[in-house]
Each structure stands twice: as structure tokens, then as C-alpha cells.
Amino acid sequence: MNAWSNEREIIINPGISPVFVRMSMEDYDHLFKIVLIGNAGVGKTCLVRRFTQGLFPPGQGATIGVDFMIKTVEINGEKVKLQIWDTAGQERFRSITQSYYRSANALILTYDITCEDSFRCLPEWLREIEQYANSKVVTVLVGNKIDLTERREVLRERAEEFAEAQSMLYLETSAKESDNVEKLFLDLACKLIREAKQNSLVNSVSSPMPGEGKTISYLNCCS
Amino acid sequence: MSTSYTQPPSHDEDSQFKMAADNLPTEFDVVILGTGLAESVIAAACSRVGQRVLHIDRRNYYAGNWASFTFNGLLAWIEDYKQEQPRDADSDGSWREKLEEGEEPLLLGALGTAISNLQVFRYASEEPEEEEVATPVATPTPEGPSTSVEEPLAQSQSAATEETDTGSEAPPTTDTQSEATPTEESESQSQDTPLESQTHEDPEQQVQREEPQEDQTTSNEGDSAPSEPTPPVETKKRKITYSKILKEGRRFNIDLVSKLLYSRGSLVDLLIKSNVSRYAEFKNVSRILTYRNGKVEQVPCSRADVFGSKQLTVVEKRMLMKFLTFCLDYEQHPEEYLDFTERSFWEFLQTKKLTENLQHFILHSIAMVKPGARTGDGLRATQHFLRSLGRYGNTPFLFPLYGMGEIPQCFCRMCAVFGGIYCLRHSVQCLVLDKESGRCKAVIDTCGQRISCSHFVVEEGYIREEQRRNVTYRQISRAVLITDRSLLPSESEQQVSLVTVPPQDGGPTVLVVELCSSSMTCMPGTHLVHLTCPSSGTAQEDLAPLVSRLFTEAPSAEEEEDKEEEGEVDSEKPTLLWAMYFNMRDSSAVDRSSYSLPSNVYPCPGPDPALGTDHAITLAEAVFQQLLPDEEFCPPAPNPEDIVYDGEGRQGEGAGFGEPVQPEREPEGESEGKEEQKAESEQDTEGAQMSVAVESPPPAPPAEE
């Protein structure tokens, strides 16, 4: 194994907010880590697959060996690389590692509109987010499976109300029909870009708080 | 039964329901109980090569004795410790009916015997921030025992010869306890109550055997506590109150085990080899300090340090460089040390024309060996240190952001990505042994479900007395402190320091790791300090004398006034805000053959007191080789960038959350390595101090030679 290439595989955090760090060689302007959470079976993996691969795999279990999916999109002329992380099945018995939440820029909290139970578990997920995620993380609530309207158990209004009370964005999607999936990720990307720019603006005025904000070295880069 | 099976506060009835409804699969290749570092590495390694792995832990958090907690999480952990009751096992007898002809049970034991002598002291003042200017009441506040805390501390006086002016080493006795009156209504219930009722442990006694039962309601409120009224944060007031610590509790990640990664140690190599490194980020340990003649000073270890050192003379610099250069490839120069192979490294050093200063640095801070260590061991340790130096930074060590507790979780994630099934708050009642072969063929879990497996890996602490009669344990003494500033202030507050404290008065060498807030382990304005040593007494007996020499306690109101009057403020030392002492059982030296267990059951000892993690990694690899002799240990996981799918074009879907966008798809496939490049070049922007990705040669002899 090449010693030189190895050296780069440990990510060293320089400990300050990487403000206005723009690389000359990169192929993107922004890189964001997006993390999906929610009960098992609500369609998290399907959302990711639909968005990154344009596929809907019916009845497909977790993909073995796939850690996260990547998709680069262009928004208003800026290249945005989205790194989308799935739970790897650890949500099935409520055993997600805390480290999964670390350094996420955005969380997509997903429930199944045809499953009341998956909606009722949301507060519990929010508690996890509060505990382990960055306090400035952007959270979107997603009601998936709107193609199954006849089996809907959670009214849209209810979810909207809940999302608003928790100051989350809300969107209903169908991974199967590809409804709103693209919109979900692209809107999120827009929001993240805006926040990143705001952050860097703030940071350039006052000195950055160490360990504060989205400072994770390689994930954040603002132009 | 259900009461002793700890349910996490965050889990409401719904989810428990759901859990019960969704049963675990019943067939696995490997069942692993316990999520400490070694178990997690084994889990990842097995899963990675296609084994079906079930990985469970009776606790509601990952990493077992390697875990890290938020401050509030730690308080809950302390509560759990106090409420732990003697139990035989997670057994309700339901296993009986699951046994078949020709099988016999092997019951597992209760968990939680690894911690003892836990003591908590709260020094930070109680009042909410608004009243900060007002005189604080009755601090320092011992959280401690209602009986005889001062006894072990009093002993410390003898050791602490210099400037023990305050006598504050001995925390006030119980009469000050009444002070623990709530300062903020919302916190009173959830935080103060449990702390108040701390009880004293005798060193010899196992905790849970004698803990009085306590009110169950206090345990888990940390998480459900209503959000407290938040006083406006005023940066002018630097003083950190206890309520502030509670409020910012989630910024803390407090490790039960304090360890660092050698840049060229087995864990770093494994992280890189397996690609698990992508789940974590690291900080360089930025300084190595030592405590000598009552002073904390920096150890020059890299070439730059040696040159820049103000405490070394030019002659010393030359001597040190010469010696370190020799150590780097000492095997090439056997004539230099062969005569000393049977003698101590210390004696060897004395013959090397090194000043006392330098001998101290080399022995205690670079080799970090006991004074009696053999020459060969000292040279090897020095070489290991020097080889790790410069790989990522100015010292040989890395520390994971958010604490060491992240690392086992990263391996668990890897295991899960390859299909491993995870279930916390779940345990095994008993193993099912085949009478004929004596091997374990299945386990019966805490739901009474039978799960077949070919191998069973278990955290040592689950094994019952009967199976470890021949086992004798050592202990590790630990202290965790929250302080208000660094032991050695410098231009940058953000330093991660290793402080080696050589044996004092015959005591052991104490390793001190001081973490700053940018390591994501403590709130801004504080430092988190870990002390570790092999035990000779209780943690408090072993470490409190040193703590009182290195730190001062937050002065009480009267003392503060006195000092102001006298114009004497002890600004030299950092102030203690909070402290915890405990002993952790050290099973690392126990040989596998000391346990009477079936051949396909593999016990994993807990953390050892050493600074590095080699022990756990070596053990994990050895267990893996026994399990699967023909398989590779943790081959690299595929890079997600390699499996990017370039789909058909499709049109964007319009407006953002309020703002229209024109999304366009981007061709993929040429992005490999960019991230690394980026990470690297970002380092470059941080200046020389952060240029970690460069493989710089270890210290070379000074040019002037």
C-alpha cells in the first residue's frame, strides 16, 4: 500500500472554522453531509436510491457494503456535492450510533404516511437529534409513500403542524413515483448553501467559536 | 425483571412495543455481546468478510467501558452505577424450556462490576449566572460521601508538600451538603437529587453488592427534564457555574477511558486499512508536557520543538538530538546498548551524556516507561514514539473528535454497513452448550428467544464468577476533571496536551490528557482533564494528591474575599469546577486460559491502563484469527465514490424552501481523491502547525553538528 496515499485518509480537524477555504483542484463548490433517520421501513433507502440512482427497488433490503451515496448537483451555477448517509439498519432496534449524527449538515427525518406508528416515534427521534447532532443542523421532516393515499393514516395537516412546532421543514414524497424526491434534496441543498454563506459572513466578522457550528473540516467549504 | 433491565429514558412505550414486535433473526454465525473496542473491531472484521453478525449490548449506549457521555449522560451513568443491584443474570428462567436433549446451559452474569469507588465533587458555584457577582455560597461543594471523604484526601497532604495553603484538598464534610439546594427550579429535581445521595464505597467492596436501593425516579430524568430558563449569555463573565455546565452538558463528551492513538500504532493502521477512518475525525495532540519540580513544562520532542526550546541549552539540544537519532534505528547500533540489555533503561540513559533534564524527558515523556524498565523496552518505546512523530503533527498522538468513545461506534457502523444486526438494551441469559462437544451452539436472549451461532464473543464483564475463579484483576485509577483553563496557558487556548507525571513518592506514573473545547469534548471556556494510572489504592487515594497539586478548588466566598484583600489570587493553577474519581477493573492481563469457557466462546477484556490502544486491537485481531483463520482481517471497504451511479438526466423540480433554483445534473466519476486533496490542502492553509499530511522525517541531528 502506498504510504503517501494513506497519509490522507485520516481526517485531521484543524480546529478552526474553515472559512472561505476554496480549493483550486476540487470539482465542487460545496460538500454537505445529509443523514437520514426514521423508523425502519419508512422508505429511507428508497429515497436515497431514487435520488442518487433514479431507481426504485421494491422490497429491497439494506444494501450491503454501501456506506453513503454521493450525488453532485448544480444549483445556480454552483456545484454541490451531497453525501447522503443511510442508517445501515441500525434503526431497526433503535441502536443508531451517536457518531452517525456527528458532523451532519442536514437531517432528513422520515416517516411513513400510511403508518401512524412511524409518526408517533418522531419525538423520540428528535430527542436523539437534540442530543447528538450539531445544534445548527437543518432538519427536514418527510412523509413518504404518498403514492399509497388510500392507506394514509397521518393527515398532512397534522404533520405540518408538528413540523412547524419543531421548526422543521416539511415535505411529502413518494420514492416510488419519484414525487418530490428531487425537490427534497435540491431544496435542502439550497438551504444549506444559504446557511453556509451566512455562516461564513458571520464568521468573517466575529472570530469563529472553536468547535462551534459546521466547522468540520472537510465537509464545509464556502465560496 | 423488567425493572432491572435498564430502559433508556428516551424510549417511550411505543418503541418498546415495537421492539418486542420485531424479533431478532434466529440464526447467526457470530453473536457478540458487548460493544467495547475489541468487540466492535471483531464485529466489523467478521461482518466485513461475510459472516452474519449479531451485536448486542445490555446497556442503552455503545462502547461499554469505552463509552463517552455528555455531562448529563454521565450524571445518569453515575446514577445507574449507584442503583445497580446484585443480580445473577438477565435471566428469568425462560431459557429452561428452550434447551433440548443433549444440551446444557451456561448462564451469563450480571454486568456492571467493572466500576468501583466512584466519587463526585462539585466545585463550581451554584448560583445562576445573573447573580454571579453576588458572593457564592458555600463552595466548594462536595458531592461526596456522607462519611469520611476527607480520610483519603488527608493522606494526600503528606505528598503535597508545597503550598498547600488552603487545606482545601480535604473537601468540607457533610455539613455543607445541605447547600445542594436547587438554584434553578427546573434542574433541582433532575440533577441535584441524585448527586446529593452519593454514597461512599469501600475499595474492596463491589459496588452493586451493597448499594442501598434508591428512589427509582431520579435516574433517568436528565433527558426528560424540561428545558430550563436560559439566562442571557454574557461573555464578559468568564466564570463557569454548575448550572452553566448542566445547560451546556451536551457539549461534553466525557470518556470513561482516556487514551490516545499513536500515529503509527495499530489502531491508526487499522482505521486506514479498513476505511473505518471515514467515520471519524481527529485532532493532533498539540503538546507534550511534564510535571517536574512542582512545575508544568513542555517537553521538546519534535525537531522543531528541540530547536525552539527555551529551556534547553545549545549543548542539551545537541545531546538530545543525537540520542533521539540513535534511538530511531537503535537496532543498527547494537554496540551502543548491548551491554545494558540486562540493566535498566535509566542506567543506560545515565551513560549517554545526557543532563538530568534530558534524562527526565526521555524516560518519562518520550519512552514513558517505568524507571525500572529494561533498556530494550525503553529503546523500543522511544523508537515507537519517534516513528509516530511527524506523521500527522508535532507529537506522535491523535485524539478522536468527540472522544475515544466514537471509535468503537465507528467499527459498529462498519459492521452494520456489511449487514451486522445491532440491538442495544438487549442481552443473553445463557449459552446453550452441546454436552458432547462442550461447544456453544446457541444463545438464549433476554426475550427468551433461542439464537443459533457458531461463535460467541463476550465482554469479559458478563462472565459469571464460576467461570472466572482463577482470574485475578488489577484496577485502573481514573479521575475526570472539568477545569477553567489549561495547565500551561499559551497563545492558543485550543491545545490538546498529554502531561506525563513521573512517579511521586513511590506512586505510579500518572498520564494526564488535557482536552480543549475544539476537541468537541467540553464546552468553550473549560478544559476536560483525564488522569489515569494503574491503581495502588482507590482512584481518589491514587490521584487526589496530584490533583490538588496541579489545580485549585473554586474558592469559597470568604476565601475569595480574603484573597482579594490580601491581593493574593492563585492565578497559577487552573480551578477545578467538577471532579469525578473511579476505579475501573483492568482485565487486560488475564489470560484466556484462566476462564473456564467453551472453546468457541471468546472473552474480551476491558480497557488497560496504557496510553495507547494496542492491547485491544491486538486482542481483536487474535480473536478474529481464531474465529476465521483463513480470512483477511478488515480489508478495505469499497469507497462510496467508486459506486456512484450516473443515472439518466431528469429535470429539476423547481422551487426550494422559498427560493427557486435551477438544478442541473452533473456528470460524475472523476471525483476520487478530491476529498482527500481538499482535506490536505485545507491543512496547508492552516500553516505549518497543521500540515499534518506530510510524512516528515523524524528529528534529525541539528545542522550545526
Contact B422 A69 (CB under 8 A): no
pLDDT of residue B57: 95
Contacts of B379 (CB under 8 A, 6+ apart): B327, B330, B337, B345, B367
| Selected residues 132-161 of chain A with any CB under 8 Å from a CB in chain B | none
Q: How long a stretch of residues is chain A?
A: 223
Contact B10 A124 (CB under 8 A): yes
Q: Where in B542-600 does DSSP place strands (E)?
A: 552-553, 575-586
d(CA A83, CA A81): 6
Assign residue B368 a region (left: φ > 0; alpha: ψ between -120 and 50; beta: otherwise): left
* A218/B contact by beta carbon, under 8 A: yes
- Record the pTM: 0.78
- The pairing of beta strand B450-452 with beta strand B440-445: antiparallel
Comparing B632 with B150, the larger pLDDT belongs to B632
Contact A110, A38 (CB under 8 A): yes
DSSP chain A: --HHHHHTTS-B--SS--TT---SS-S-SEEEEEEEEESTTSSHHHHHHHHHHS---TT--PPTT--EEEEEEEETTEEEEEEEE--TTTTTTT---GGGTTT-SEEEEEEETT-HHHHHTHHHHHHHHHHHS-TT-EEEEEEE-GGGGGG--S-HHHHHHHHHHTT-EEEE-BTTTTBSHHHHHHHHHHHHHHHHHHHHHHHHHSPPPTT-SS--GGG----
d(CA A191, CA A183): 12
Contacts of B297 (CB under 8 A, 6+ apart): B289, B290, B311, B488
- Whether the CA torsion A159, A164, A166, A169 is positive or negative: it is positive
Convert the pLDDT of each residue in B626-655 to its tens digit: 999 999 999 998 877 665 443 333 333 333
pLDDT of residue B215: 39
d(CA B171, CA B576): 12
| Selected residues 20-39 of chain B with any CB under 8 Å from a CB in chain A | 22, 24
| Selected residues 64-123 of chain A with any CB under 8 Å from a CB in chain B | 64-76, 79, 81, 83, 88-90, 92-95, 97-100, 102-103, 117, 120-121, 123
pLDDT of residue B158: 36
Instruction: Examine the pLDDT at B279 and tell me if it is beyond 70.
Output: yes
pLDDT of residue B558: 53
Contact A88 B665 (CB under 8 A): no
Comparing B314 with B8, the larger pLDDT belongs to B314
d(CA B194, CA B74): 12
Which cell goes with B98? 428452550
Residue A85's alpha-carbon distances to A68, A205, B55, in angstroms, are: 4, 33, 21
Beta-ladder partners of B530? B480, B513
Q: Min CA distance, A191 vs chain B (Å)?
A: 7
Contact A28, A104 (CB under 8 A): no
DSSP 3-state assignment of B475?
Answer: strand
Q: Which of A9, A90, A127 sits opposite B676 (nearest CB)?
A: A9
Comparing B470 with B692, the larger pLDDT belongs to B470
pLDDT of residue B629: 96
Instruction: Examine the pLDDT at B599 and tell me if it is beyond 80.
Output: yes
d(CA B521, CA B258): 12
Comparing B88 with B269, the larger pLDDT belongs to B269
**B422 to chain A: nearest residue by CA?**
A90
Q: Count Cβ neighbours within 10 Å for each residue of A10-23 and write b for 16 or more, e otherwise.
A: bbbbbbbbbbebeb
Can you say how many angstroms the Cα of residue A174 is from the centroid of all Cα atoms in its chain?
A: 17
The B421-424 sheet, strands edge to edge: B421-424, B53-57, B30-33, B455-459, B601-604
d(CA B63, CA B555): 37
pLDDT of residue B239: 83
Provide Rg for chain B, Cα atoms: 27
Mean pLDDT (chain B) is: 76
d(CA A170, CA B520): 30
- Of B497, B583, B585, B500, nearest in space to B546 by CA: B500
Q: Count H helices, E strands: chain B? A: 21, 25
pLDDT of residue B676: 37
DSSP state of B467: G
pLDDT of residue B205: 38
Comparing B583 with B592, the larger pLDDT belongs to B583
- Whether the CA torsion A39, A45, A46, A50 is positive or negative: it is positive
Instruction: Examine the pLDDT at B55 and tell me if it is beyond 60.
Output: yes
Contact B19, B444 (CB under 8 A): no
- Of B503, B411, B495, B567, nearest in space to B47 by CA: B411
Give percent of chain B above pLDDT 90: 54
| Selected residues 31-60 of chain A with any CB under 8 Å from a CB in chain B | 31, 39-40, 52-55
Instruction: Examine the pLDDT at B49 and tell me if it is beyond 90.
Output: yes
Give the pLDDT means over successive 10-residue stretches in chain A (223 positions). 41 49 61 95 92 76 75 92 93 92 94 96 94 90 96 96 95 95 96 89 47 30 29
Highest mean pLDDT out of A51-55, B29-33, B78-82, B241-245: B29-33
Instruction: Examine the pLDDT at B608 and tell me if it is beyond 90.
Output: yes
- The torsion of the CA quartet B126, B132, B133, B137, rounded to 10 degrees, works out to 0
| Selected residues 229-268 of chain B with any CB under 8 Å from a CB in chain A | 250-251, 268
pLDDT of residue B172: 38
Split at pLDDT 50, 70, 90, the class of B80 is confident
Residue B75's alpha-carbon distances to A124, B3, B71, B190, B239, in angstroms, are: 21, 19, 6, 10, 22
d(CA B633, CA B639): 18
d(CA A168, CA B241): 32
DSSP state of B408: H
Contact B544, B581 (CB under 8 A): yes
Residue B338's alpha-carbon distances to B321, B333, B343, B344, B345, in angstroms, are: 21, 9, 10, 12, 12
Convert the pLDDT of each residue in B525-562 to its tens digit: 999 999 999 999 999 999 999 999 999 987 655 555 55
Split at pLDDT 50, 70, 90, the class of B189 is very low
ω into B140 cis (within 30 of 0): yes
Question: Look-up: residue for cell 460538500?
Answer: A31
Contact B30, B56 (CB under 8 A): no
DSSP 3-state assignment of B481?
Answer: strand
Contact B358, B316 (CB under 8 A): yes
Within 10 Å of residue B22's Cβ, how many Cβ atoms? 13
DSSP state of B374: B
Contact B608, B615 (CB under 8 A): yes
**B268 to chain A: nearest residue by CA?**
A10
Q: What is the ipTM of this complex?
A: 0.85
Contact A211 B520 (CB under 8 A): yes
Instruction: Examine the pLDDT at B248 and tell me if it is beyond 90.
Output: yes
d(CA A119, CA A110): 9
Q: Which of B223, B268, B413 sits opposite A127 (nearest CB)?
A: B223
Mapped to the 3 state alphabet, what secondary structure does B257-302 carry? CCCCEECCCHHHHHHHHHCHHHHCCEEECCEEEEEECCEEEECCCC
Question: Look-up: residue for cell 440491538?
Answer: B423
DSSP 3-state assignment of B586?
Answer: strand
d(CA B704, CA B182): 64
N-term to C-term CA, chain A: 35
Split at pLDDT 50, 70, 90, the class of B689 is very low
Convert the pLDDT of each residue in B218-228 to its tens digit: 333 333 334 44
Q: How long a stretch of residues is chain B?
A: 705
Instruction: Examine the pLDDT at B520 and tell me if it is beyond 80.
Output: yes
Name which of B337-341, B543-547, B562-566 the model is least confident about.
B562-566
Q: Which of A13, A75, A121 sits opposite B14 (nearest CB)?
A: A121
Contact B663 A186 (CB under 8 A): yes
Q: Kindly list the residues from chain B whose CB atom is less than 8 angstroms away from the CB atom of residue A11.
A: 277-278, 280-282, 679
| Selected residues 420-439 of chain B with any CB under 8 Å from a CB in chain A | 421-426
Contact B22 A76 (CB under 8 A): no
Can you say how many angstroms the Cα of residue B329 is from the centroid of all Cα atoms in its chain?
A: 32
